[in-house]
Structure 1
Amino acid sequence: MIVIGLGTVWILDGLEVTVVGNIAARLSEEGSGLPITSAQVTGIAAALYVAGACAGALFFGWLTDRFGRKKLFLITLAVYLAATALTGLAFNPWWFFVFRFFTGFGIGGEYAAINSAIDELIPSKYRGRVDLIINGSFWLGAIGGALLSVLMLNTSVFPANVGWRLTFLLGVVLGLVILLVRRNVPESPRWMFIHGRGEGAEKLVADVERRVTAETGRELPPPADSITIRQRKSTGFLTVARTVFSTYPRRTVLGLALFIGQAFLYNAITFGYGAILTKFFGTPADKTGYYFAVIAAGNFLGPLLLGRLFDTVGRRPMIAGTYLTSGILLFATAWLFDGGHLSATTMTACWCVVLFFASAGASSAYLTVSEIFPMETRALAIAFFYAVGTAAGGITGPMIFAKLTESGVVADTVLAFQLGAGVMTAAGVVAAFLALPCERRSLESIARPLSAVRAAGGRVPAG
């Protein structure tokens, strides 16, 4: 229930981003019902979507730590649904731009509320793999969006001014189903206890324990440790900022490196893949969706197949390894492309392998920042790193990479690949030195809650 109720929103995000990228060419055609250019869709609209996601992450992240995980992951999904529906009704560019921003606003809030809830509800033994797979499910939506765009852009099935609108409305229908499931997902008992709702938290956990005991026929072991908590209604923004930047500066550097690295690598590939296939390999615009579906499949298989290793081999070697491997492979892809050794099929195969590793690494960025900071700062910390990293790679990225990949000059596209690969590789080096061994450890042992009066057990390392 938790995985489906919370994780499936990433499918919506993947569907949303991919559909817009694939319908850009159709929207710019005469008869689409929207006077807009392809560059405006992939440039201005994409940047506004990302800007909205950054703003939404910060705004809803603050509210999530203040008012609870459950209340906010219902509100943020409602914002997404309303904005997506209104995007599908756009008849002029400014309307389309405004509601692309608010669609991103809702999705950004989802990232903060959902990642904090997932980590606080999933057992530590499985936290890494579950978190990676849920974040990686974005690419299931991307597969659906790519294939859906092929159908919706077929003018023999739907008129040119109808098909693209229906794609947005289908996203709304899927979101409504998720909203119904999500109503049954419980609040985080950690958040409840710290915020003065100890009786409710105890009842929730006791119900889970009784259910597990009944299903397994075994009594659960007693808790290995205890913490005395001074309950509070809220945590001030200055306290959060001091904790992130002063108490844990090395962890802050790690979080920023991971988010900026993955944002640049993904923008280097995904914001120009369609233009690359059509300009350099003569692929028809209405067929690029098939290629992207293959790329998206590689992205999902990465977290699915590598996720278990983050809990067994360990966080540091796997985070550093996936970042470095994907960066080096993208450098190799740039070299092959520059030498004229690739076709549309082999280029797609290269992207698929690069993103197999990059996707696991990118998902681990969300896992990392949700683990390494105290409970009271978790949602806002996720929001901050997502916003800064995504703004660096996701707002400047479309502007930089769209121009490079659409120029039709091989050297420009090679430069785009090299930029993404270089930043990703640098992030991998940072992870090799700064990533923490969080596997199979309780969240409280990784970062002591700010509300803790004293902790039985070992001292939490600083930095």
Structure 2
Amino acid sequence: MRFIKTDLTCRLDALPWTGFHTRFVVALGITWVLDAFEVVIVSAVLKPMAKQLELSAQQASLLVSGFLIGAIIGSLLFGYLADKFGRKSLFIITLLLYSGGTFLTGFADSFEFAMLCRILAGAGLGGEFAAIQSAIDEFVPARHRGKVDGTITALWNLGSIIASLSALYLLKTFDESFAWRVAYFLGGILALLIVFIRLYVPESPRWLIAKNRIKEAEEIVRKVEKKAGFSPKVESCDIPVFEGSIFDATKIILTKYRWQFIFSASMSFTILTTYYGIITFLPLVLSKVYNLSSLEISSVLFFGSVGGLIGGLTVAFLNDKLGRKPLGTAISFLSMLAVFLFLLKGVDPRVLYFVYSFIAFSFASVAYVIATEIYPSYIRAYTIGVLSVIGRLSGAFAPAVVVSIASQDYRLGIFTIASFWLVGFISFLIYSIKGKETKGKPIEQIS
């Protein structure tokens, strides 16, 4: 592998925070809001949608699976393409694919057409993560990366809040037979508006350097420095230039970065199994334990989203203060204990879910940060794509496992979710002993 000596990456890390960085992060970070909006709004309108299209329970559940299948395909395909052809072009393509798939779902008149649209939307959103997360890690100054990545991850809960309120409004305002269509139209239009913002987002200089396109990278860095009114004088460093295939990239991940990949995969597994496990466990099992109506379930979910948002933003701030290793280890352990709050029957479930979400939903704001920043730029997007596949596959089977076990005794369901958290805790504990603390360090030093 060849190396290029340049000071561009260090100049990026030395820059102060500017309005450009804010616009950049907002334009790309909106992906997390859209993903949460998609998950929650679909859950809220799936029942009337299934009724009008005369779908069986199995077909309705397959629509959810179709979205996850699409996300898996998109994560792998667009993750590799983002490393091969750049982040910027994928910013637009994946968002258009998601927007189109979501909007067209509103016109569905059959199971087959709805399934196709859900797969397309899933592929777009799955591809979003690989390109977006890579670009943010590669552009944001090292000393701000933890809080920025953590904040973006926490915005998942904002998307959940918006979706919950939107669903309640639509179902109260329109007839159910039309409300579900409006929900999809709304999701598609919101995503389309973001496309215009992304037209002004530059390519990742680190990716350009890895492709030996130094002049283009220099031009972008100079523009950012001009907007910041500051040109730092820094030392040069060696940046690897990767010219291999997808098989070469896979080999590097599974050999040179083998144990880092195992750690990252366990993070993706823990985040998705615990999330999808609990949001399925709540309406199907806990609602019977606490005698909750449909509206009360929506209220509990809303409280959880608020708790997750507050907790996630708190952890995002602490990322660059306390460091990833102590924070991730502590939160995964506390989350494992917090699941057992649901054994308390005399407490308002909204309070229980708020407290649980405040702790557990904040874990992603540290876990996703460290799980994606420990790889070099030339394979980062592809690795994130693979990790997304692992997470979504895990998230797909978690609800069935949790509900099946809980059907014998709801307390067994709680223990199952706690066991998912145990995986994350053990992994973070091992990483704390063996791995690097990445707080405030440039990407090149970490990987």
1:333 maps to: 341
Q: Does the CA contact (< 8 Å) of 1:261 and 1:420 recur in 2?
A: no
1:105-144 alignment runs, 5 A limit: 105-144=123-162
Distance in 2 (CA, whole Å) between partners of 1:290 and 1:168 is 22
TM-score (norm 2): 0.89
Deviations 1:250-304 (A, max 9, x none): 2122111111111111122112322346433343324532321211111111221
SS where residue 186 of structure 1 aligns?
coil
Report the Cα distance in structure 2 between the residues aligned to 1:17 and 1:289, rounded to whole angstroms. Answer: 14
1:191 aligned onto 2:193: no
Matching of residue 382 in structure 1 with residue 392 in structure 2? no
2:236 partner amino acid: S
2:27 aligns to what? 5
Q: 1:400 & 1:16 partners in 2: Cα distance?
A: 23
State the partner residue of 1:66: 84
The amino acid across from 2:278 in the alignment is I
Distance 2:277 2:211 in 1: 43
Q: Name 1:79's counterpart in structure 2.
A: 97
Deviations 1:353-374 (A, max 9, x none): 2222222222333222321111
Aligned CA distance change for structure 1 residues 68 and 283 (closer, same or farther; 3 Å): same
Would you say 1:181 and 2:197 are equivalent positions?
yes
Q: 1:362 aligns with which of 357, 361, 364?
A: 364
Structure that is richer in helix per residue: 2
Question: Which amino acid in structure 1 is aligned with residue 45 of structure 2?
Answer: I
What SS does the corresponding residue of 1:235 show, helix, strand or coil? coil
Whole-angstrom CA distance in 2 between matches of 1:102 and 1:403 = 30
1:326–1:424 CA contact under 8 A, matched in 2: yes
Q: Does 1:323 find its partner at 2:329?
A: no
The partner residue of 2:310 within 301, 326, 333 is 301
| Distance verdict in 2 for CA 1:416–1:97, change over 3 Å | farther
How far did residue 51 of structure 1 move?
Answer: 2.2
In the alignment, which residue of structure 2 is the partner of 1:165? 181
Q: Do the aligned residues in 1 keep the contact of 2:319 with 2:327 (CA within 8 Å)? A: yes
Report SS of the residue matched to 2:363: helix
1:222 lines up with 2:255 in the alignment: no
Within a 5 Å distance, the mapping from 1:145-294 to structure 2 comes to 145-154=163-172, 157-213=173-229, 219-223=230-234, 225-229=235-239, 231=241, 234-276=243-285, 278-294=287-303
Shift of 1:113: 0.7
CA distance in 1, matches of 2:361, 2:295: 26
8 Å contact from structure 2 (residues 329, 428) kept in 1 = yes
For 1:194-226, what per-residue CA distance to the aligned partner results, in whole angstroms no more than 9, with x for missing partners? 21321111011011112212xxxxx55422x42
Aligned with 2:414 (options 392, 413, 417): 417
**Which ranges of structure 2 fall in alignment gaps of 5 or more residues?**
1-22
- Structure 1 residue 15 and structure 2 residue 37: aligned? yes
1:360 counterpart SS class: coil
Runs (4+) off by over 6 Å? none
Asked if structure 1 preserves the Cα contact closer than 8 Å seen for 2:315 and 2:365, the reply is: no
Percent of aligned pairs with the same amino acid: 28
Look up the equivalent residue of 1:439 and give its one-letter code.
Answer: K
Is the 1:88–1:168 contact (alpha carbons within 8 Å) kept by the matching residues of 2?
A: yes
**Deviation (angstroms), 1:97:** 2.4
Q: 1:369 is aligned with what amino acid?
A: A
User: How many residues of Structure 1 are paired with residues of Structure 2 in the alignment?
Assistant: 422
What is the CA–CA distance in structure 1 between the aligned matches of 2:402 and 2:422, rounded to whole Å?
18
- Structure 1 unmatched runs, 5+: 214-218, 448-463
1:456 paired residue number? none
Give the Cα separation in 2 of the matches to 1:287 and 1:86.
Answer: 31
Say what the alpha-carbon RMSD is for the aligned residues. 2.0
- Cα contact 2:290–2:349 (8 A) shared by 1: no
Q: Distance in 1 between matches of 2:184 and 2:403?
A: 23
